[in-house]
Amino acid sequence: MRASWMMGAALLALLPAATYAQDVSKKVYQLHQKLITLDSHLDTPASLDLPGWSIDEEHGVHSDFTQVDLPRMKKGGLDGGFWAIYTGQGPLTIEGFRKARDFAILRGLSIRNMVAADPANFALALEAKDAAPIAAAGKRIVYMSIENAYPLGEDVSLIKTFYDMGVRVSGFAHFAHNQFADSSTDPSKKPRYGGLSPLGKELLKEMNRLGIVPDGSHSSDQVLDDLLALSTTPVLLTHSGCKAVYDHPRNIDDDHLKALAAKGGVIQMNAYGAYLRASKPNPERQKALMVLYGQMREDAKISPEKRAELLARRQEIDRLYPDTDKPTFDDFMAHMLHALKVVGPDHVGIGLDWDGGGGVVGMEDVVALPKITDALLKAGYSEADIQKIWSGNVLRVLAAAEAGKGK
């Protein structure tokens, strides 16, 4: 989702605090901490460039609206994941491509700098086999991904620059159609290419050659059809949901779920409330938020004072226009359990969209993650199944991309 500095938990109004370790038994908590846990879509890199913000310090979902930092990852037993280079969709012009390219490279460097600045706690992962030893060393696992290939412009060879930087997963489109693919949520509500563009097909071929996993989240169903037909390695949906539970364009239907699984792919379940179920309209709140967000850009350089002002305004919106119909943890689990019913534990994973709009009542930040393990156990899934869901499946897809390199 969008990696804006307030968007992570910004859609969550003031929720009651909870001590999540008390929400599961000690036995479940210990099991969860033992698992290798990866989230396939962390928009947290947007936080890294905030003035005065540190990944090593504990922050609060109700104070600065962020959802992931090192202390909370430890509490919630999150070993790491795929840290996203997100770039908002801009004009399909030479100047637009140039600005997006420069921003994306700098965001990627922010991720690398996070690792370099704290090697005792973070380690860059480049292959599927890297995850286990990093976790065993007590460090957080940092894979890199791209959300929205727009920054590549019309030069597909530029993906090699990001591969060399560490990127191992890449999506194609975001909220709107771009030069590579149709989006599932383009404002026109009409397809531009009917799937991947000719340039998008070239990009997919280059990704397969390099060993980069293709990500179909945010792209249209027709793009997914093209990815499944043309990719030489399995496809990942890094943060998606199920149309059978809630018929939203960002979710996929059961037929596509089965087709994805048949090709070895995996759907990683998101927790972005607007995609989980319909909510009651709150126009005053939405209008106030849009005014606030209109003053924030991903590449904006803000002072600590300006950030404090914006945070105060965000909290005031919560006070004046509380969101009283927020999706819950049960809504999230409904999507996960449906996907598991349709394609089984070999083809389902977790990509909650933290710091990009994800989070629900009962699971506001990464501290709450043991609840997922608890819910899966109660649903009858084994420890082996849950390990696949938490990391085994996404690592299998990454390993398959590595094995297919150069073919």
Write b or e for each residue in 187-214: b if 16 or more Cβ atoms lie within 10 A of its Cβ, otherwise e: eeeeebbebbbebbbebbebbbbbbbbb
Per-residue confidence (pLDDT) for residue 23, from 0 to 100 = 86
Residue 301 has a pLDDT of 73
Contact yes or no for 214/227 (Cβ under 8 A): yes
pLDDT of residue 323: 87
Helix axes 304-320, 283-293, angle to 10 degrees: 170
Is residue 301 situated within a structural domain?
A: no
Q: Which domain range does residue 230 map to?
A: 7-280+325-403
Q: How buried is residue 229: exposed, middle or buried, by Cβ count under 10 Å (0-12/13-18/19+)?
A: exposed
CA 60 – CA 342 distance, rounded (Å)? 36
Name the helix (H) or strand (E) containing 169: strand 167-171
Q: What is the pLDDT of residue 344?
A: 98
Tokens of 340: 């598991």
Q: Is 348 contained in some domain?
A: yes
Q: 368 lies in a domain?
A: yes
pTM given for the model: 0.93
3-state secondary structure (DSSP) of residue 248: coil
CA 236 to chain centre: 12
pLDDT confidence of residue 15: 35
DSSP H stretches of helix in 270-360: 283-293, 304-320, 329-343
For residue 164, being part of any structural domain is answered with: yes
DSSP at 179: S
Count of domains forming the chain? 1
**How does pLDDT run along the chain (407 residues), one tens digit per residue?**
443 333 333 333 333 333 445 589 999 999 999 999 999 999 999 999 999 999 999 999 999 999 999 999 999 999 999 999 999 999 999 999 999 999 999 999 999 999 999 999 999 999 999 999 999 999 999 999 999 999 999 999 999 999 999 999 999 999 999 999 999 999 999 999 999 999 999 999 999 999 999 999 999 999 999 999 999 999 999 999 999 999 999 999 999 999 999 999 999 999 999 999 999 889 899 899 888 877 766 656 778 888 888 888 989 998 999 888 999 999 999 999 999 999 999 999 999 999 999 999 999 999 999 999 999 999 999 999 999 999 999 999 999 999 999 87
Nearest-angstrom CA–CA distance, 108 and 112: 6
Record the tokens describing residue 345, joined without a space: 């534990």
Which CATH number is 245's domain given?
3.20.20.140
In a domain, 297, yes or no: no
33 vs 213: CA distance, rounded Å: 27
Encode burial over 342-371: b for 16+ CB neighbours within 10 A, e otherwise: bbebebbbbbbbbbbbbbbbbbbbbbbbbb
Question: Does residue 78 form part of some domain?
Answer: yes
Does residue 147 lie within any of the structural domains?
yes
Q: Is residue 258 part of a domain?
A: yes
DSSP for 70-86? HHHHHHHT--EEEEEEE
Whole-angstrom CA distances from 47 to 145, 314, 343, 405 are: 16, 16, 35, 33
Helix, strand, coil % (nearest 5) of the chain? 45, 15, 40
Nearest-angstrom CA–CA distance, 144 and 212: 11
Give the pLDDT confidence score for residue 226 in this predicted structure: 98
Cα–Cα dist 376/11, whole Å:
26
